[in-house]
């Protein structure tokens, strides 16, 4: 059975029975993802509590803004390629549950609303998604890894769910939800935030932090208009906490027992219209005069008609408006991270700046083709969990010499962090020692001379191979290899035959190769 959700990697829905069920429910509600790197975050005006610069790329990574990255009221899920696969179901679960709001809601209402809205996605992450999840040999059956990331577990999970389930996780998940709901009830009775804690998770204090960051926005006229005009009944906005709690339980039974869950009202274009309306409201907040009257009309049209045709007309009308008045360019306002009418959707300038921060020489090698090539990449960029520069290098395959530069620069930019095995187990090998590439060394092979100092477009044809890794001191080490040794690494057959023995020995001493078998 294959479920497809726009903007996600299909394989990630198959990792556990719970993830698959979430994806099925999400498909019934026509949910979809925006791509985090393709979406331009519009600055939040100071009057709405905007306190930080919009995020930007650094060394190939687009960091999430610290305080206001996530909005419970945005019903489009986020796909961030630098996050792990567990996020897919978590994000979809958020949208299925929705959020709580009513006119004139107090900060305490918002805290309890944020708490309830986070509850099931977190229970899914730590418990329900663990039942039937394939993990690596070292971590099988042990449950979530919390902070400790495991590449092997990620790879195993992509092979699909296990045949067997582990009822323990389901029981623990239900118990977790019960405890949290009891704590919410007690908090409501006593008029104080009385959280319960599980390991490092404290949903109540997370909810307080959420309201601390979002309060000005949640109490603004903008938010009042957004929530009162742009949501159908049953479309994810819950007017009281009991309704939100009931929805949490409804979606939980849907995930755990396969019970029926009402799809979100309104369909795909209600979510698109909401997203655009919110962005136009942000623009409106900083606009005056005739332009503001026109913008106001566009927002009202999105409220009254949440269809594809209406979205398309609003996009076209904003284009025209931005010609007549000084307004943010449509390329920015409509850079939502998913496809929109009239060719909008991707923050191409943001992608270019991200590539500049990771692989400047590759962009230089593209010369005048840069805009056309990145534009094409933006349209075809696959939804996979790899950093931007690596995806771009793959996209460029065959377009030399830019592809060689991109591959090399991506490897340097995202060199694996040093593993402790390096220092613990490095040896000066003697004849009989079988060696393998260290887990924190990355082989990169290119077709052009990436060390060429002049115009990269003129780099001569010359196959080169390197090992790249982050050094303990933080800088990146690049080790040129003989082609013979590079072939051996690629074939996973690193035997110290005479031709490479000396090269291998010196690299092994530096911990780039480790013994296959640790001697006692
Ligand atoms: Zn698909
Ligand atoms: Zn969450
Ligand atoms: Zn593992």
Rounded to the nearest whole angstrom, what is the distance from the C-alpha of residue 130 to the centroid of ligand 3? 13
**Exposure class string for 271-303: b at 16+ Cβ within 10 A, else e:** bbbbbbbbbbbbbbbebeeebbebbeebbebbb
Calculate ∠ Cα 97-103-108, nearest 5°: 70
Q: What is the edge-to-edge ordering of all strands in the sheet holding 476-481?
A: 442-448, 461-470, 476-481
- The share of the chain scoring above pLDDT 70, in percent, equals 99
What's the burial of 251, exposed, middle or buried (CB within 10 Å: 0-12/13-18/19+)?
Answer: buried
- What's the rounded mean pLDDT across residues 154-182? 94
Surrounding residues of ion ligand 3, Cβ less than 5 A: 136, 139, 150, 152-153
- What's the rounded mean pLDDT across residues 337-357? 97
Rounded to the nearest whole angstrom, what is the distance from the C-alpha of residue 350 to the centroid of ligand 3? 34
Q: What is the pLDDT of residue 431?
A: 66
Measuring CA to CA, how many Å separate 87 from each of 211, 212, 385, 386? 22, 24, 11, 14
pLDDT per residue as tens digits for the range 226-278: 999 999 999 999 999 999 999 999 999 999 999 999 999 999 999 999 999 99
Rounded to the nearest whole angstrom, what is the distance from the C-alpha of residue 121 to the centroid of ligand 1? 23
pLDDT at 65 over 80: no
Q: What is the pLDDT of residue 67?
A: 65
Segments in 127-164 forming alpha helices (H): 151-157
Rounded to the nearest whole angstrom, what is the distance from the C-alpha of residue 488 to the centroid of ligand 3? 27
Rounded to the nearest whole angstrom, what is the distance from the C-alpha of residue 172 to the centroid of ligand 3? 21
Distance CA 354, CA 39 (A): 12
- Which ligand sits closest to the CA of 72? 2
- What's the rounded mean pLDDT across residues 11-34? 97
Rounded to the nearest whole angstrom, what is the distance from the C-alpha of residue 145 to the centroid of ligand 2? 17
pLDDT at 198 over 90: no
- Which ligand sits closest to the CA of 5? 1
Rounded to the nearest whole angstrom, what is the distance from the C-alpha of residue 119 to the centroid of ligand 2? 8
Rounded to the nearest whole angstrom, what is the distance from the C-alpha of residue 111 to the centroid of ligand 3? 35
Q: Chain-wide mean pLDDT for the chain?
A: 93
- What's the rounded mean pLDDT across residues 497-506? 84
Concatenated DSSP letters of 218-280: HTSHHHHHHHHHS--TTSSEESSHHHHHHHHHHHHHHHHT----PPPTTHHHHHHHHHHHHHH
Rounded to the nearest whole angstrom, what is the distance from the C-alpha of residue 211 to the centroid of ligand 2? 14
What is the signed CA dihedral for 127, 131, 133, 135, rounded to 10 degrees?
A: 80
Rounded to the nearest whole angstrom, what is the distance from the C-alpha of residue 203 to the centroid of ligand 3? 26
- What's the rounded mean pLDDT across residues 320-333? 97
Q: What is the pLDDT of residue 68?
A: 67
Rounded to the nearest whole angstrom, what is the distance from the C-alpha of residue 146 to the centroid of ligand 3? 12
Q: Which two tokens stand for residue 21?
A: 């069920």
Rounded to the nearest whole angstrom, what is the distance from the C-alpha of residue 161 to the centroid of ligand 3? 15
Rounded to the nearest whole angstrom, what is the distance from the C-alpha of residue 94 to the centroid of ligand 1? 21
Rounded to the nearest whole angstrom, what is the distance from the C-alpha of residue 81 to the centroid of ligand 3? 20
What's the burial of 483, exposed, middle or buried (CB within 10 Å: 0-12/13-18/19+)?
Answer: exposed
pLDDT at 69 over 80: no
Rounded to the nearest whole angstrom, what is the distance from the C-alpha of residue 9 to the centroid of ligand 1? 7
Rounded to the nearest whole angstrom, what is the distance from the C-alpha of residue 149 to the centroid of ligand 3? 8
Rounded to the nearest whole angstrom, what is the distance from the C-alpha of residue 154 to the centroid of ligand 3? 7
Q: What is the pLDDT of residue 144?
A: 81
Q: What is the pLDDT of residue 188?
A: 97
- Which ligand sits closest to the CA of 3? 1
- Which ligand sits closest to the CA of 156? 3
What's the half-sphere exposure (Cβ side, CA atoms, 13 Å) at 423? 6
Rounded to the nearest whole angstrom, what is the distance from the C-alpha of residue 169 to the centroid of ligand 3? 17
Concatenated DSSP letters of 173-235: HHHHHHHHHHHHHHHHHHTS-----BTTB-HHHHHHHHHHHHHHHHTSHHHHHHHHHS--TTS
Rounded to the nearest whole angstrom, what is the distance from the C-alpha of residue 8 to the centroid of ligand 1? 8
pLDDT per residue as tens digits for the range 410-425: 999 999 888 888 888 8
- The share of the chain scoring above pLDDT 90, in percent, equals 81
- Which ligand sits closest to the CA of 9? 1
Q: What is the pLDDT of residue 49?
A: 85
- Which ligand sits closest to the CA of 148? 3
Rounded to the nearest whole angstrom, what is the distance from the C-alpha of residue 209 to the centroid of ligand 1? 36
pLDDT at 471 over 70: yes
Rounded to the nearest whole angstrom, what is the distance from the C-alpha of residue 110 to the centroid of ligand 3? 37
Calculate ∠ Cα 425-426-432, nearest 5°: 100
> Which of 501, 506, 470 is closest to 488 using CA atoms?
501
Rounded to the nearest whole angstrom, what is the distance from the C-alpha of residue 258 to the centroid of ligand 3? 28
Domain 420-515 belongs in CATH node 3.30.1490: no
- Which ligand sits closest to the CA of 152? 3
pLDDT at 1 over 80: no
- Which ligand sits closest to the CA of 93? 2
Rounded to the nearest whole angstrom, what is the distance from the C-alpha of residue 140 to the centroid of ligand 3? 7
- The residue extents of the domains of the chain are 10-143+158-263, 266-330, 348-413, 420-515
- Which ligand sits closest to the CA of 27? 1
Rounded to the nearest whole angstrom, what is the distance from the C-alpha of residue 71 to the centroid of ligand 2? 10
pLDDT at 493 over 80: no
- Which ligand sits closest to the CA of 139? 3
| ipTM surpasses cut 0.85 | no
Rounded to the nearest whole angstrom, what is the distance from the C-alpha of residue 190 to the centroid of ligand 1? 48
Query: Please, are residues 70 and 39 in contact by the beta-carbon 8 Å criterion?
Result: no
């Amino acid at each position: 059975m294959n479920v497809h959700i726009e903007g996600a990697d299909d394989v990630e829905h198959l990792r556990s029975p719970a993830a698959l069920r979430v994806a099925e429910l999400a498909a019934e509600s026509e949910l979809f993802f925006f791509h985090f790197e393709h979406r331009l975050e519009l600055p939040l005006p100071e009057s709405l509590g905007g306190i930080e610069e919009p995020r930007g790329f650094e060394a190939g990574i687009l960091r999430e803004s610290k305080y206001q990255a996530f909005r419970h009221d945005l019903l489009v899920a986020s796909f961030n390629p630098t996050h792990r696969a567990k996020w897919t179901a978590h994000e979809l679960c958020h949208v299925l549950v929705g959020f709580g709001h009513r006119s004139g809601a107090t900060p305490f209402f918002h805290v309890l609303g944020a708490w309830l809205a986070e509850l099931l996605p977190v229970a899914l992450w730590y418990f329900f998604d663990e039942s039937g999840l394939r993990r690596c040999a070292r971590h099988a059956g042990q449950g979530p890894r919390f902070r400790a990331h495991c590449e092997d577990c990620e790879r195993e999970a992509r092979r699909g769910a296990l045949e067997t389930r582990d009822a323990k996780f389901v029981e623990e998940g239900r118990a977790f939800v019960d405890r949290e709901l009891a704590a919410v009830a007690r908090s409501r009775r006593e008029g104080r935030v009385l959280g319960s804690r599980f390991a490092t998770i404290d949903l109540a204090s997370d909810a307080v932090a959420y309201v601390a960051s979002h309060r000005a926005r949640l109490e603004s006229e903008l938010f009042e208009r957004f929530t009162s005009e742009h949501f159908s009944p049953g479309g994810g906005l819950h007017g009281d906490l009991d309704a939100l709690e009931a929805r949490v339980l409804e979606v939980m039974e849907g995930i755990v027992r396969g019970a029926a869950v009402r799809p979100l009202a309104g369909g795909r274009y209600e979510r698109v219209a909401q997203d655009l309306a919110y962005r136009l409201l942000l623009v409106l907040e900083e606009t005056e005069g005739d332009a503001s009257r026109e913008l106001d009309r566009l927002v009202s049209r999105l409220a009254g008609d949440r269809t594809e045709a209406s979205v398309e007309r609003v996009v076209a009308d904003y284009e025209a408006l931005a010609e007549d008045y000084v307004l943010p360019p449509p390329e920015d306002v409509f850079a939502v991270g998913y496809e929109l009418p009239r060719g909008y959707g991707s923050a191409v300038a943001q992608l270019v700046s991200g590539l500049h921060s990771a692989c400047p020489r590759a962009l230089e090698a593209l010369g005048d083709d840069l805009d056309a090539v990145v534009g094409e990449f933006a349209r075809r960029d696959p939804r996979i969990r790899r950093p931007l520069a690596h995806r771009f290098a793959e996209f460029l395959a065959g377009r030399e010499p830019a592809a060689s530069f991109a591959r090399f620069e991506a490897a340097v930019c995202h060199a694996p962090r040093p593993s402790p095995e390096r220092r613990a187990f490095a040896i000066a090998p003697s004849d009989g020692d079988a060696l393998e590439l260290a887990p924190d060394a990355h082989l990169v092979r290119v077709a052009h001379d990436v060390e060429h100092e002049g115009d990269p477009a003129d780099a001569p044809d010359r196959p080169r191979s390197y090992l790249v890794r982050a050094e303990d001191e933080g800088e990146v080490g690049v080790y040129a290899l003989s082609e013979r040794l590079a072939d051996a690494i690629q074939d996973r057959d690193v035997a110290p035959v005479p031709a490479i023995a000396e090269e291998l020995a010196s690299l092994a001493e530096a911990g780039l190769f480790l013994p296959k078998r640790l001697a006692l």
